[in-house]
Amino acid sequence: MNKLILLVFAFFIIESVSAAHFIVGEVRDSYDGVLADGKEVVLWDPTRGGIDDNLTDVIGPTGNSGTSNIYMIDCELLNKKCKVGDEIMVRSVYDGQEVNLTVTRAGYDIAPNMTLNSRPNITSIEVEDSITSPLGQIDLTPASTRDVTCEVIVEDYDGNSLQNPGSEFYSSSQGDLDDNNNHYTNNSCLINESYGNENETQFICGFEVWYYANPGAWACFFNVEDNLSFSGNATNTTNVNTLLSVGVQNVIDFSYVDLEKVSGEVEVNVTNYGNVATNLSLTGYAVSQGDGLAMNCTLIGNVSIENQKYNLTSPNPGTLDLGEADLVYVNMSGQTATKQFDLDYQTEDGAEAINSTYWRVYVPLGVSGDCEGKIIFGAFQGAGS
């Protein structure tokens, strides 16, 4: 109250000497602690001279008012002096807020109060996939995508509407552009304005992360603006786990093979459906694992496991006898074999990582009918034989 009396007294003295007409206003500190003192305001009459004919003042003790949080501008100093009935605009340079008032016959006019705008405050950001245990880890899906979600809680102290939410999910080796190995963008995050209290908003930003996304540390970055274009952002990290997975065609068809003959060569492509380079493990059986058979036949006999043969590096076309085949192919055994295969993971979108393998089978005497067996292709890291 004492402040107001002193200001009024000063205004009347100045008016009687210089016929000034002061526009006075209060600018409060922002809710997040930004001080109004030292910030600038600009005053103009939009109908008489416009923004080019303007006056400025510094809020607070270093400005015309000499008082914290108060500005004071003599609109008579405009090139086109203000007069009764003029519409006056005052803008906070810091955040662009504007107030207006009409000039009266009084010696001064008081503009509506302003409070400096606060930046949106991100109070929480969580990154998770649909597998919530353990937390903070992303488990990818072989040959497909995994839904990863960044859930963000934003508090806006001023109650402004929030706009332009955007999020990025990227690895430590991210590039500028989206790439399924290391960078994903979502600029259409779901907005849940009914979340929490009146100043809180929840944003849900989803990403479909491909199986070949780089393993290791990843981050979710989120940014949002209020209606004064003040932005707030935050980042949280997670870990994309290593995925070991390979895929092959469902059936290896050797067609018809005569007794005591080696089949023709069948090429089998192996695709890396994981996110690291992999070697290959091989296990074969006919009826149950460890049965020592490559194939079980419908009429007579079985094909033993060593008669199933493979080459993991190069083709060997043409007709081969058993001795020739044994020189260039490896026999399957009853135990799981771990083999050097050097199959890299996919690094270009749309270009799967594929290596070829080559297979034959020898059919001994005493076998008849349709013969069938199973081969398990497995992925592993580490040295193979």
- Prediction pTM value: 0.84
Per-residue DSSP letters for 116-158? Answer: PPPPPEEEEEEEEES--SSTTEE---TTSEEEEEEEEEEE-TT
Q: Which of these, 114, 36, 112, 102, lies nearest to 75 by C-alpha position?
A: 102
Q: How confident is the model at residue 384 (pLDDT cuts 50, 70, 90)?
A: low
Residue 62 Cα distances to 32, 40, 56, 59, angstroms: 23, 11, 13, 7
Residue 268 Cα distances to 182, 249, 282, 310, 360, angstroms: 30, 7, 13, 10, 11
> Does position 194 have pLDDT exceeding 90, yes or no?
no
What pLDDT, on a 0 to 100 scale, did the predictor assign at position 65? 97
Q: H or E element: which one contains 208?
A: strand 200-210
Tens of pLDDT, residue by residue over 324-357, are: 999 999 999 888 999 999 999 999 998 999 999 9
Same fold, 121-240 and 246-380: yes
CATH number for the region 2-115 comes to: 2.60.40.10
Domain extent listing, the chain: 2-115, 121-240, 246-380
Which range scores top for mean pLDDT: 15-24, 168-177, 301-310? Answer: 301-310
> Does position 16 have pLDDT exceeding 70, yes or no?
no
Cβ contacts of 72 within 8 Å, gap of 6 or more: 22, 23, 24, 57, 63, 64, 65
> Does position 122 have pLDDT exceeding 60, yes or no?
yes
> Does position 182 have pLDDT exceeding 90, yes or no?
yes
What pLDDT, on a 0 to 100 scale, did the predictor assign at position 135? 81
CATH number for the region 246-380 comes to: 2.60.40
And the tokens for 84? 């009764």
Q: How confident is the model at residue 176 (pLDDT cuts 50, 70, 90)?
A: confident
> Does position 18 have pLDDT exceeding 70, yes or no?
no
Task: Note every long-range contact of 172-180, with CB atoms under 8 Å and residues 24 or more positions apart, other chains counting.
Answer: 172/216, 172/217, 172/218, 172/219, 173/214, 179/349, 180/209, 180/210, 180/212, 180/213, 180/349
Contact yes or no for 195/153 (Cβ under 8 A): yes
CATH number for the region 121-240 comes to: 2.60.40.10
Tens of pLDDT, residue by residue over 279-300, are: 999 999 999 999 999 999 999 9
> Does position 17 have pLDDT exceeding 80, yes or no?
no
